[in-house]
């Protein structure tokens, strides 16, 4: 039995009521900053339990615009995790700021004990990345930010509805960025992003910056960006948002089943599952012996495992002049030993058993061969 990684063909295979809503919407012509976008921003705020949500055209722009709105300037240093998707670093770079990396801990997020040693007189912000659906230990991040007078933008693009100590991702920092990209847990049909904040002033500035700095049709208050969330995508978002909690619960349940299966396989090590953390498993990752052979074996059997990521961002060619000879051992260890399996809300119990069975078969065949 093959187990696919992407569930996108299943997710929107049967949604006649969404097609009806889209047809009605198109006939209104309300395409930019339209009414469904305002509705989606309200719906997103209540889902996240924050007062303000601003739709932008990607998760990358959400990070970039939040940093700019919080006063991060060209030449300022921004601390972030050494293991993240390129977008975090791209967003920091786009406003002329300088990314400064901190190694991760075994839960794939920034090791908060290493932040202070990365702070210099030029540090202006911290962008913790809640990578894979785990959360950065945000109480500690906020303590450090307060002590050094830094602003914090959470990169929560992979962690919608994750929690640390009972508080949701996105509710800790000065602002937080979410992505609505098709491959994220709450996904629309194109690029899309959301910024959340508790500050009314920041909300106003974010709204200006995402729409060219236009206070109204005729007045440009400061130069900004063209980065509005498409109202068409907001219609999709409004249809999806009532399913968001259920999606996260299904992923958590699937991760539990995979964990139970993998507990029987000594060559697989399950990362710490901290008690105080609600992990939402945007990615389901374990540590594996003979990782590369296991990956090839799984793929040859039709079980689409992946590596997130084989080359850590800080070791990418584009960053060599920035990083110089720094080394982040935990990030490097993960790049060599991690493997991701499907864990999404559309995965069946039979598919979960197939994943565990295939991994078990690999190690059984290995030990017979030696
Ligand atoms: C997806 C992602 C982003 C950017 O989101 P886009 O909507 O694709 O621009 C940023 N950070 C992380 C960690 C992501 O996974």
Average pLDDT over residues 312-336: 93
CA-to-CA distance for 174 and 110, rounded, in angstroms?
18
Residue from 184, 187, 188, 281 to probe ligand 1 pocket by mutation (most atoms less than 8 Å from CB): 184
Look up the pTM and report it: 0.97
Q: What is the pLDDT of residues 41-88, one digit of tens each?
A: 999 999 999 999 999 999 999 999 999 999 999 999 999 999 999 999
SS3 state at 193 = strand
Average pLDDT over all residues of the chain:
97
Q: Ligand 1 mean position to 363 CA, how many Å?
A: 34
What residues line ligand 1, using a CB cutoff of 6 Å? Answer: 58-60, 84-85, 87-88, 129, 155, 157-158, 179, 181, 191, 193
| 370 pLDDT tier (thresholds 50, 70, 90) | confident
Residue 239 confidence (pLDDT) above 80: yes
Q: Where in the chain do CATH 3.40.640.10 domains reside?
A: 8-243
Assess whether the previous peptide bond of 309 is cis (omega < 30° from 0). yes
Q: Ligand 1 mean position to 170 CA, how many Å?
A: 14
CATH class of 244-369: alpha beta
Asked if CATH classification 3.40.640.10 holds for the domain at 8-243, the reply, yes or no, is: yes
Contact indicator for 358, 297 with CB cutoff of 8 Å = yes
Q: What is the pLDDT of residues 72-131, one digit of tens each?
A: 999 999 999 999 999 999 999 999 999 999 999 999 999 999 999 999 999 999 999 999
Closest CA to 340 of 256, 281, 300, 252: 281
Q: Which residue has the tokens 């690029």?
A: 191
Q: What is the pLDDT of residues 271-310, one digit of tens each?
A: 999 999 999 999 999 999 999 999 999 999 999 999 999 9
Q: Ligand 1 mean position to 266 CA, how many Å?
A: 33
Q: Where in the chain do CATH 3.90.1150.10 domains reside?
A: 244-369
Q: Ligand 1 mean position to 85 CA, how many Å?
A: 7
User: If you take atom 13 of ligand 1, which residue's CA is the nearest one?
Assistant: 85
3-state helix vs strand vs coil in the chain, percent to 5: 45, 20, 40
What is the sign of the dihedral through the CA atoms of 150, 53, 234 and 221?
A: negative
Ligand 1 atom closest to Cα of 130? 13
Greatest CA separation found in the chain?
A: 75
Residue 324 confidence (pLDDT) above 90: no
Ligand 1 atom closest to Cα of 63? 10
Ligand 1 atom closest to Cα of 61? 9
Residue 358 token pair: 């295939």
Residue 197 Cα to chain centre, angstroms: 17
Q: Ligand 1 mean position to 210 CA, how many Å?
A: 17
Instruction: Tell me what pLDDT residue 277 has.
Output: 98
Q: Ligand 1 mean position to 87 CA, how many Å?
A: 5
């Amino acid at each position: 039995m093959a187990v696919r990684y992407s569930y996108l063909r299943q997710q929107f295979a049967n949604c006649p009521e969404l097609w009806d809503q889209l047809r009605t919407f198109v006939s209104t012509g309300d395409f930019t900053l339209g009414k469904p976008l305002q509705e989606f921003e309200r719906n997103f705020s209540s889902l996240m339990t924050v007062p303000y949500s601003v739709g932008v055209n990607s998760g990358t722009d959400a990070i970039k615009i939040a940093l700019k709105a919080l006063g991060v300037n060209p030449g300022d240093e921004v601390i972030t995790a050494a293991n993240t998707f390129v977008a975090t670093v791209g967003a920091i770079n786009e406003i002329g700021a300088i990314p400064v990396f901190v190694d991760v801990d075994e839960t794939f997020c920034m090791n908060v004990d290493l932040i202070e040693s990365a702070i210099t007189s030029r540090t202006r912000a911290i962008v913790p990345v809640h990578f894979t659906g785990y959360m950065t230990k945000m109480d500690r991040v906020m303590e450090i930010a307060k002590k050094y007078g830094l602003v914090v933008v959470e990169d929560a693009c992979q962690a919608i509805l994750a929690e640390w100590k009972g508080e949701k991702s996105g509710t800790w920092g000065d602002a937080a960025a979410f992505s609505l990209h098709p491959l994220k847990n709450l996904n629309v049909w194109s690029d899309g992003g959301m910024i959340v904040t508790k500050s009314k002033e920041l909300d106003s500035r974010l709204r200006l910056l995402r729409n060219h700095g236009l206070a109204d049709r005729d007045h440009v208050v400061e130069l900004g960006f063209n980065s509005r969330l498409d109202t068409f995508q907001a219609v999709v978002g409004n249809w999806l948002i009532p399913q968001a909690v259920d999606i996260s619960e299904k992923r958590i349940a699937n991760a539990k089943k995979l964990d139970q299966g993998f507990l029987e396989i000594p060559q697989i090590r399950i990362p710490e599952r901290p008690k105080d953390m609600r992990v939402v498993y945007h990615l389901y990752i374990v540590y594996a012996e003979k990782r590369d052979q296991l990956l090839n074996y799984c793929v040859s059997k039709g079980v689409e495992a992946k590596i997130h990521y084989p080359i850590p961002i800080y070791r990418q060619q584009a960053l060599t002049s920035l990083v110089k000879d720094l080394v982040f051992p935990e990030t490097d260890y993960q790049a060599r030993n991690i493997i991701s399996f499907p864990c999404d809300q559309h995965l069946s119990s039979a598919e979960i058993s197939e994943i565990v069975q295939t991994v078990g078969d690999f190690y059984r065949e290995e030990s017979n061969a030696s």
